[in-house]
Amino acid sequence: MLRFVVRRLALMVPVLVGLSILLFVWIRALPGEPARSMLGQRATPEAIERINNLYGFNDPVLQQYFTYVGRLIRGDFGESTRNGDPVVSTFFDQFPATIELSFAALLFAIVLGIPLGYWAGRRVGGWLDNVIVSTSLLGVVTPVFFLAILLKLVFAEYLDWFPTSRRSDARIEATHITNFYVLDGLITREWDAAWDAIVHLILPGIALGTIPLAIIVRITRAAVADVMGEDYVRTAYSKGLDPAIIRNRHVMRNALLPVVTTIGLQTGLLLSGAVLTESVFEIGGIGRYLFEAISQRDYPVLQAYILFIALIFSIVNLLVDVSYGVIDPRVRVS
Amino acid sequence: MTERRRETAEEASSKPDSTNDQLLVVRGLKVHFPIKHGILFDRTVGAVQAVDGVDLDVPRGRTFGLVGESGCGKSTLGRAILRLVEPTAGNVRFDGVDVASLQGEKLRSMRRRMQMVFQDPLASLNPRQSVETIISEPLRAHGIEYSKKNRVREVLDLVGLPASAATRFPHEFSGGQRQRIGIARAVALEPELIIADEPVSALDVSIQAQIINLLEELQERLGLTYLVIAHDLAVVRHISEEIAVMYLGGIVEQTDSEQLYLTPRHPYTIALMSAVPVPDPAIEDHRQRILLSGDLPSPANPPSGCRFHTRCPYRQETRCDTERPELRLISPGHRVACHYAEEIVAGTVTPKVDAALPV
Amino acid sequence: MTMAPPLMSPSDPMLGVDPEHGTSLWRGAWRRLRRNPVAILGALLVLAFVLIAVFASALAPYAANSREWASEVTLTSVPGPREGNLLGIDRYGSDLYSQLLYGARQSLIIGVVSTLLGLVVGAMLGILAGGLGAKVDMVVMRIVDILLSIPSLLLAVSIVAVLGQNRYAVMIAIASAQVPVFARLLRGTMLSQARSDYVLAATSLGLRRRTIVMGHVLPNSLGPTIVQATLNLSTAVIEVAALSFLGLGESDPAVAEWGRMLVAAQDRFASSPQLALWPGLAIAVSALGFTLLGEALREALDPKGRR
Amino acid sequence: AESSRDSGGGGDDDTTSPSDGADPSAGASGGTFIFAGSADPVTLDPFFASDGESFRPARQIFEGLVGTEPGTADPAPLLATEWETSEDGLSNTFQLQDGVTFHDGADFNGTAACWNFDRWYNTPPGVGQTEDQAYYWISLFKGFAKGELTDSVYESCTVDSETEITVKLTEPFAGFVAALSLPAFSMQSPDAIEQYGATGQDDPSQSAYATEHPTGTGPFVFESWVKEDQIVLTRNDDYWGEPALLEQVQIVPIAEPKARADALLAGEIDGFDLVGPADIPRLEDEGYQILNRPAFNVLYLGFNQAVKPLDDILVRQAIAHAIDKDAVISASMPEGTAPALEFVPETVEGYTEDVPTYEFDPEKAKDLLAEAGAEDLELEFNYPTDVTRPYMPSPGDTFNAIRSQLEAVGITVKPSADVWDPDYLDKISGSKDHGIHLLGWTGDYNDTDNFLGVFFGRKSSEWGFDNPELFQALNDARGLPTVEEQIPVYEEINRQVMEFLPGIPLASPVPSLGFAPNVKGYVPSPVQDEPWNLVSVEE
Amino acid sequence: MTDDTIGGRGVNAPDVVRRDLSTEALLTVRDLRVEFGKKGQRPTTAVDEVTFEIRRGEHLGIVGESGSGKSVTSLAIMGLLPATGVRVSGQIMFDGEDLLAASEKRMRDVRGRDIAMIFQDPMTSLNPVVTIGTQISEVIRGHRDMGKAEANERAVELLRKVAMPDPGRRMKEYPHQLSGGMRQRVLIAIALANEPQLLIADEPTTALDVTIQAQILEILKQVVADTGTALIMITHDLGVVAGLCDSVHVMYQGRVVESAQRRPLFAEPRHPYTGGLLASVPRLDSPRGQPLKPIPGSPTDVLPWTQGCAFTPRCANRIDTCTEKTPALKIEGQRALRCFNPLTLSSAGGATP
Ligand SMILES: Nc1ncnc2c1ncn2[C@@H]1O[C@H](COP(=O)(O)OP(=O)(O)OP(=O)(O)O)[C@@H](O)[C@H]1O
Ligand SMILES: Nc1ncnc2c1ncn2[C@@H]1O[C@H](COP(=O)(O)OP(=O)(O)OP(=O)(O)O)[C@@H](O)[C@H]1O
Ligand SMILES: [Mg+2]
Ligand SMILES: [Mg+2]
């Protein structure tokens, strides 16, 4: 297992290096200059020139790349050209927000999706299956931001059950240690703050979680339907076991294998969706920030963030594979 | 002792060559599939020794049977002969031509002369091709002039399928009919050698005989040479003139069909023979059964010495686990790879009765 | 030795076979599709969508992007449904109903073109990887890995950023997000098909490698890819909207494009919700059509589905 | 004049504010005020900031020598009680407020004031000396002691006494005193900067001082900043002026105007800046307050004369006659927005009504086009997406309205939209590749050059014309030592510009603030100089 | 059992009367009929008119080629046919109780305790993600009030009984760590865990190699003999039946076409299908060169039973009656036969002594 993990980590290196080169070239292919973003509306050509010289934007791309790599090696990811914030520290400032959101979304998707998928998959073609499948399809085809706007309109503005935006209520005293607001609230025993953070996560979590939910429902359903037809389930029935044991030990434990993989694959989707959800709900996470970085040519942020995201993506997939090994003993040995 | 043994070995490998017309000559064939492991770059840390030093002579116009348990390397051997997998060592001469040395076009045209029939008839047919395409495509590929309608009909007729089958697709046929299509495709090229890898084991019992008979009839009509691979000793014995018994990548015994049945010499063959059930209560009730313990060891990590020694009821304290026995001629036309073949015949070496439970 | 079985009727040996065994695989799939109400619903939705897109100019009461009633639109109010304007006026002064119909055209064109583009490029990469051996495979798959490690929307956004804001940029952007998906899928199916016996058979028959890859492996591997393409049409329609939401896409604000209409309506959600609801619904329904069709196609082509 | 920071409330000339709640005694003392801006500040060290969101907390924490009259852009005493400019305009003497202390307890006095001037002038070369950081210093004072830019307008600051300093300039600078009202030139605590100002990074705007220890003399003391979430300030009990009524204020970023309105309606915030025009009726209907800032901006339709036939004055005039500014305003700007006559808003010195005007007259427009031989005129029309600026609350709508009007006179419009930053700005200011475009400007402080000079002071690819006379006139006007001397000159330049018609000034939209019904005492300022010490939130 | 009967060389003495068969039937299947049909589709009859009984300790063989309804019959007995789309009629009396009428809850008690089953494919019949130990002990604990440790002990004992090497260690292993033969032993252990009265083995050795098959059959024989369990052996391998079963039922297309004690059946098959099977299978002991006599056609060439004898299209012995009437299962002494024109003794190509 350890060998496997090490190997996978090692395999990530070429991908990340490739990505960093690709990104570097790509980002410099973006028209428009970071200098313009830095200087604003009425920047004079001289000022732009000075910025370009100062930051080396005029150097040959190759030279810029090596400078960049040189700094990377020293652990320096640079600073945002927009506001000078050190990229790493902003990333860690904002990342908790995105993780919290994604986690809420996944939680919603998993907690709801797996049972629904199970019920649908047990009787493929039954009325319950049809209801679940068609509802989950609706989930897939509704654009994330549209759903987000609708949820916000109905549940925050019209019904006033939930806050309209942001991660926390400014009126509630909260101490932030980790920047995971829910966690912070729990650590500091500021229960109201923790609760407030949870309440703020509900609508965005649902909006972001709906597509994963639909996907999880579908995969679970298919997996359950497949597993139900497996010989070992028939064996389990032939043993006269308690239905609950058959469901949990024999059906679900096997059906979860593809589901776990799918959950891992949702990471990319979640981050895409986070860009939109964070915009609608005004959450200061990396999604929104990254989008702004792209449109404003914030090279250092772009480079570092996309690399970080790719890294996280790979790590999540690694974790998925590892957890796969935990559930599936067949993977464990090899 | 050693001296004598070397002699017999030489004798064994030289003799068949000199005798009558051998269509296929295999010498020292090995196929090892590397097992790769590594942190960044794959290193080969071992190998699945699927085929590990096989000599084989298939006489022209005859049927040669290859029998052995699942995983012992039969299919790999068949494929290696056709260069469908690359052999690791050894050579294969087909009608005097070294198949291993052929490349590109030469190899391609050589393939026309050696064909294969597969175990799973459905899987070996492209589901998107009609029977007509399946049969005519190889003809086209080899630039063989043919009149489309006639040749396909001819071949179908040969394998006992109606002409109307030509326009249909594989999944519309029953298992036996599919196998006929597979055979039709193989014979369409008028090959000299057909390697049939488990040609009947996926078929219903009641159909197997049809296919076996078909194969026999085609051999008669077309003068084919067969290498029939199967795990079912009864089937192999039925159609083959010469049989080789394979165990864990190597051949342990080879002789003609009659001899093998009457006087099996290798302990594995003896056990195999005794394990095959016979549909006759009278015989079944009186049979002596030699049960082997355990399973086929992994070809990735084969036992030392005699590959069979871990399961062999006749295993002796010496040599069996240290020295790999060579396939040697012990009587005319009968070759066995066992150190104690003669002693077993003589009864000086007897099976251990106290062998462990079938592990 | 009798070989032709005496009773096998020479005219038709396949009497009374299982009804599933019709003819070719695709025709079998087609049969199953026709019997599947979900497929029919999906096909109807898609058909309606396509028809509307093609005949938008005939169906719409007003010209696209006419802005005839621009003077009646103020910052705070937009005329609602009324005589002559079935759904009311959009925020730029055109007939909302007409704009919705024309919007189908935009969505269809962008969706189809970008998916096709993604499919073609992805398929080419997939064929390279799956058909040209381990070295090419390694290189192509690393590239695909790299592309896949960037969330698709961000990839699309950065491409639009490079290519500028126009419809073609959007198409290319959405296509590029699909490329790795198709490449990977096709490569996977091709590699697994390449291991199957009929490929071995083709090799043993002495067919050329190209014939084997293009004539045997590829056709048998296309099924999942085609299913994926159908599903991706729905994603593409949604992604167009998402890009519009982020302010990227067709540059003319008044142009009839659902995503843009939906986004433009955002700040008037409270006073004129119809401006957002209709395009939102249109996106969802057309995406639903493609999804249903794709799902049904998947089931029809899935051998396991033939229970 | 008194500053609003002094007791006495809302200032003398009754403001544009509809809020009459400027009576401090009516406001309950204490409580928290939560205000939403549109983005997180970049830095809390205002010297290295140039964006409004960074200045918003800075206005509460810091004060400069000079403030503004509440509700206007006119300079008013703040930390300096009075000042005097020498005849030649090269020397300025400031009398300082006595008994003022920084939040860290240090005294504010002449030494501290000159320390600030010296700090600015001696900004180390490198990142800090770019317009990206020391934007206002560079654009107003031109140079530093060391580095690439050395021709500074600033010469020296001398401490005459603990309450008097003299600032010397190297050339006349009529806008000097007004410029000091910019938050960038706020007085900051020397001790705090010396203690926390060092940066590991070479970026001074991100020092520990600038993110965790901003220390000024203002009515509120910095408490905490959680990035992308909130800034918390608490009342400065030792404030030299009128201590704040509020116990605490918080500034939160909410990017979308509609989301800010939603948050206000949901009671999550007490007020916010930059109300979206579409949200105004919604808020008003619900009883929320909308306060308008006096417009201090201008939106215009620019012509790129590098593109034919825009270099033809007849074509420019034709377009001017084709546009119905009132219709454009009603379609895309908040109520109360006035059409613009020229390139400076009414509040700025040098504004005059006596400029050439071009009334809405489509027929005349068509005639002019015919006369110019440009009947089949096709124009690329550039506008930004995904942005709202105070002068451009809804660019898509503005574009759409103008497009319709242009099409009505037979001009074919080719829309071309870009993301504001940097694509659009790059295209307009950095390339020749554009046709007519929407752009505008919000003034920083009361200085005509801050408008006209910025627009027309030099040859630029935005306009694509070369008019040396105009450039020279603007250059000369800038060099006049006093505002009084400048006014007639700028009036003349305004006339000249409208004759030349490089673009069409469209409007000066009023930026609006939204507040909960119970917020009192907020005085909007055209230059956003809005200290919150008199704001109160009633229970 | 003793070691030497299984390990090494074992000798099976000719034991014609091996077991003490009680006279009273343990299981009686009467007129079993199973129809499959989805809504709107024509139902297909998978099993029809199946009648047989098995006594305690008896070994009964069901032979037939693929699709003949062997598995469906056994699943019907177990009550494991799918819940929807199936119609089962007839009677399955087990120990005096009609299982077809029993509730699902009651069936749960019966399954794994009174009746157990071993399936064909040992590779897929064990849950890949659950340890062997759990898979054995869960069936023990499911039917008996037994603690975990005790159940584990019993499981180890069972593994030892099926000659699993190193049973203690195997408990913690997963199915993929075992070879096919060992997995089949585990399945046998599971089936025998509660000492059922009836064991149904559905082609338990088809997926295994001959040498392993011999091991498994030997073990099966042993454990069944030890516990006195009645055994229904389902197979298409006539050889397996020949050495194991007391009586044999040959099925074709869902119906029993011939049943008899094994010796008479193999010695003189009467149904053309039985005879055809025996003549078409190559025998190891038959002299080379003796041609096989295949059954012509394929199993898909069938006539619905309603239109006559299903085997007619492939039958060499067919007469006109075969397509006119449906043959009934007629009992002639020790034998039951469903044929209008059965083989005579001389034409039976099958068994040669
Ligand atoms: N491509 C391959 N890579 C690695 N190992 C392989 C490969 N092909 C076969 N083997 C291994 O080689 C051994 C021999 O396989 P082979 O298929 O030749 O056996 P076989 O005798 O034909 O078995 P069967 O009767 O099951 O078909 C097996 O252990 C198999 O796992
Ligand atoms: N769930 C099902 N739905 C519909 N038909 C079924 C189902 N299960 C079995 N059948 C049909 O019932 C018939 C008998 O099947 P069964 O599995 O009993 O055959 P079998 O004799 O066990 O064959 P094999 O030797 O292949 O296991 C077949 O025609 C099969 O198609
Ligand atoms: Mg094989
Ligand atoms: Mg079966």
Helices (H), chain A: 2-29, 34-39, 45-55, 61-73, 87-122, 127-141, 144-151, 181-187, 191-228, 231-238, 243-245, 253-281, 286-295, 299-327, 329-333
User: Is pLDDT at E10 greater than 50 in this prediction?
Assistant: no
- Looking at all shown ligands, the one closest to residue B76's CA atom is 1
User: Is pLDDT at D186 greater than 90 in this prediction?
Assistant: yes
Instruction: Check residue A177 and give its pLDDT.
Output: 81
CA distance C57 to C69: 19
Residue E34 Cα: closest atom of ligand 2: 12
Contact D228 A84 (CB under 8 A): no
Contact C267 D386 (CB under 8 A): no
User: Does a structural domain hold residue C276?
Assistant: yes
The three-state secondary structure class of B298 is coil
User: Is pLDDT at A319 greater than 60 in this prediction?
Assistant: yes
What sign has the CA pseudo-torsion D275, D278, D280, D282?
A: negative
CA distance D52 to D333: 21
Average pLDDT over chain E reads 83
Contact E124 A231 (CB under 8 A): yes
Q: Nearest residue CA, atom 28 of ligand 1?
A: B71
Q: How far is CA C285 from CA A113, A136, C105, C290, in A?
A: 22, 14, 14, 9
User: Does a structural domain hold residue C42?
Assistant: yes
Of A99-103, B256-260, C270-274, which gets the smallest average pLDDT?
C270-274
pLDDT digits (tens, 9 = 90+) for D86-127: 888 889 999 999 989 999 999 999 999 999 999 999 888 877
Give residue D228's identity as a one-letter amino acid code. E
Neighbours of chain D (3+ CB pairs under 8 A): A, C
**Structure-block tokens of residue B272:** 């195999």
Burial D331-342 (b: 16+ CB within 10 A, else e): bbbbbebbbbbb
Residue B73 Cα: closest atom of ligand 1: 18
Instruction: Check residue A267 and give its pLDDT.
Output: 74
Q: Which residues, at least 6 apart from C75, have a Cβ–Cβ distance to it below 8 Å? A: D277, D278, D330, D331, D332, D333, D334, D394, D397
CA distance C46 to C286: 7
Q: Identify from A157, A165, A176 which residue to disrupt to test chain D contact, counting D C-beta atoms within 10 A and taking the largest count.
A: A165
Distance from CA of C187 to the nearest CA of D (A): 38
Q: Which residues, at least 6 apart from A244, have a Cβ–Cβ distance to it below 8 Å? A: none
Q: How far is CA A255 from CA A131, A251, A328, in A?
A: 21, 6, 11
Q: Are A300 and A87 in contact (CB under 8 A)?
A: yes
Distance from CA of C222 to the nearest CA of B (A): 12
What is the CA(A123)–ligand 4 centre distance, in A? 23
Is C276 within 8 Å of chain A by CB? yes
Nearest to B206 among E3, E282, E299 (CB): E299
Contact E300 C7 (CB under 8 A): no
Q: Are D462 and D316 in contact (CB under 8 A)?
A: no
Is C30 within 8 Å of chain B by CB? no
Confidence band of D342 (pLDDT split at 50, 70, 90): very high
Pick from A26, E123, E180: which is nearest to B69 by CA?
E180
User: Does a structural domain hold residue B122?
Assistant: no
Q: What is the 3-state secondary structure (H, E, C) of D406-449?
A: HHHCCCEEEEEEEEHHHHHHHHHHHCCCCCEEEEEEECCCCCHH
What is the CA(B215)–ligand 1 centre distance, in A? 25
pLDDT digits (tens, 9 = 90+) for A205-230: 999 999 889 888 988 988 898 888 88
Nearest to C205 among B120, B141, B214 (CB): B141
Domain-wise residue ranges, chain A: 2-73, 94-333
Helix or strand holding residue B54 (H, E):
strand B43-59
Average pLDDT over chain A reads 82
Q: Which residues, at least 6 apart from A97, have a Cβ–Cβ distance to it below 8 Å? A: A167, A179, A278, A283, A284, A285, A286, D228
**Packed helices A144-151 and C274-301: angle between N→C axes, nearest 10 degrees:** 130
The three-state secondary structure class of C285 is helix
The mean per-residue pLDDT over the stretch D18-45 comes to 71
Structural domains counted in chain B? 1
Name D298's bridge partners.
D441
Pick from D134, D131, D61, D40: which is nearest to A90 by CA?
D40
User: Does a structural domain hold residue C122?
Assistant: yes
The three-state secondary structure class of B346 is helix
Whether D and E touch, i.e. at least 3 CB pairs below 8 A, reads as: no
Report the 10 Å Cβ neighbour count for B143: 8
Instruction: Check residue E5 and give its pLDDT.
Output: 31
Q: Are D132 and D47 in contact (CB under 8 A)?
A: no
User: Is pLDDT at B350 greater than 60 in this prediction?
Assistant: yes
What sign has the CA pseudo-torsion A180, A185, A189, A195?
A: negative
Contact E296 C15 (CB under 8 A): no
Instruction: Check residue D366 and give its pLDDT.
Output: 92
Q: How far is CA A191 from CA A202, E56, E256, in A?
A: 17, 69, 73
**Structure-block tokens of residue B50:** 């699927």
Pick from C236, C250, C258, C287: which is nearest to C116 by CA?
C236
What sign has the CA pseudo-torsion A313, A314, A318, A324?
A: positive
User: Got the DSSP string for C15-60?
Assistant: TT--TT--SSHHHHHHHHHHH-HHHHHHHHHHHHHHHHHHTHHHH-
Structural domains counted in chain C? 1
Enumerate residues lining ligand 2, CB below 6 A. Answer: E 36, 46, 64, 66-72, 82, 236
For residue D71, which phi and psi values (nearest 5 degrees)? 80, 0
Q: Nearest residue CA, atom 7 of ligand 2?
A: E36
% of chain A residues with pLDDT over 70: 97
The mean per-residue pLDDT over the stretch E147-170 comes to 88
| Unique residue bearing structure tokens 């010195």 | D349
CA distance E156 to E142: 17
Name D375's bridge partners.
none
Q: Are strands D289-292 and E230-235 parallel, antiparallel or unpaired?
A: unpaired
Nearest to D259 among A81, A86, A282 (CB): A282
Distance from CA of E324 to the nearest CA of B (A): 25
Instruction: Check residue D71 and give its pLDDT.
Output: 84
User: Does a structural domain hold residue B21?
Assistant: no
% of chain E residues with pLDDT over 70: 90
User: Does a structural domain hold residue C5?
Assistant: no
pLDDT digits (tens, 9 = 90+) for D424-465: 888 888 788 899 999 988 888 888 888 888 888 888 888 888
More confident residue, B113 or D198: B113
Contact E314 C5 (CB under 8 A): yes
What is the CA(B323)–ligand 1 centre distance, in A? 25
User: Is pLDDT at C303 greater than 60 in this prediction?
Assistant: no
User: Does a structural domain hold residue B319?
Assistant: yes
Name D291's bridge partners.
D513
The interface pTM score, or ipTM, of the predicted complex is: 0.80
Q: Which residues, at least 6 apart from B269, have a Cβ–Cβ distance to it below 8 Å? A: B245, B252, B253, B260
Contact C153 A276 (CB under 8 A): yes
CA R_g for chain B:
22
User: Which residue range forms the structural domain that includes residue B334?
Assistant: 266-358
Give all domains of chain E, ordered by start, each with its CATH number.
1-114+196-353 (3.40.50.300), 129-194 (no CATH)
What is the CA(E236)–ligand 4 centre distance, in A? 9
CA atoms within 13 Å, Cβ hemisphere of A177: 11
For A94-333, CATH number out of 1.10.3720.10, 3.40.50.300, 3.40.50.11820, 1.20.810.10 equals 1.10.3720.10
**Which CATH number belongs to the domain containing residue C42 in this structure?**
1.10.3720.10
Nearest to A166 among D252, D425, D429 (CB): D252
Give residue A174's identity as a one-letter amino acid code. A
CA distance B240 to B253: 14
User: Does a structural domain hold residue B31?
Assistant: no
Task: Spell out which chain D residues touch chain C, with contact meaning CB-CB distance below 8 angstroms.
Answer: 257-258, 276-282, 327, 330-334, 385-386, 394, 396-397, 399-401, 403-404, 415-419, 423
Task: Spell out which chain C residues touch chain E, with contact meaning CB-CB distance below 8 angstroms.
Answer: 1-2, 5-8, 13-18
Distance from CA of A127 to the nearest CA of E (A): 13
Does the C-beta of B31 come closer than 6 Å to ligand 1?
no
The mean per-residue pLDDT over the stretch B332-341 comes to 90
What number of residues does chain D have? 539
Neighbours of chain E (3+ CB pairs under 8 A): A, B, C
Q: Are D438 and D380 in contact (CB under 8 A)?
A: no
Q: Identify from C72, C243, C252, C271 which residue to disrupt to test chain D contact, counting D C-beta atoms within 10 A and taking the largest count.
A: C252
Q: Are A143 and C235 in contact (CB under 8 A)?
A: no
Confidence band of E85 (pLDDT split at 50, 70, 90): confident
Q: Are E212 and B295 in contact (CB under 8 A)?
A: yes
Q: How far is CA C93 from CA B105, C71, C253, in A?
A: 70, 7, 11
* pTM for the predicted model, two decimal places: 0.82
Residues in D closer than 8 angstroms to A94, CB to CB, are 227-228
Confidence band of D340 (pLDDT split at 50, 70, 90): very high
Residues in D closer than 8 angstroms to A37, CB to CB, are 421-422
Contact C5 E313 (CB under 8 A): no
The mean per-residue pLDDT over the stretch C174-178 comes to 88
What is the CA(B77)–ligand 3 centre distance, in A? 9
User: Is pLDDT at C6 greater than 60 in this prediction?
Assistant: no
pLDDT digits (tens, 9 = 90+) for E194-228: 889 999 999 888 878 888 888 888 888 888 888 88
Instruction: Check residue C8 and give its pLDDT.
Output: 34
Does the C-beta of B298 come closer than 6 Å to ligand 1?
no
What number of residues does chain E have? 353
Distance from CA of C249 to the nearest CA of A (A): 13
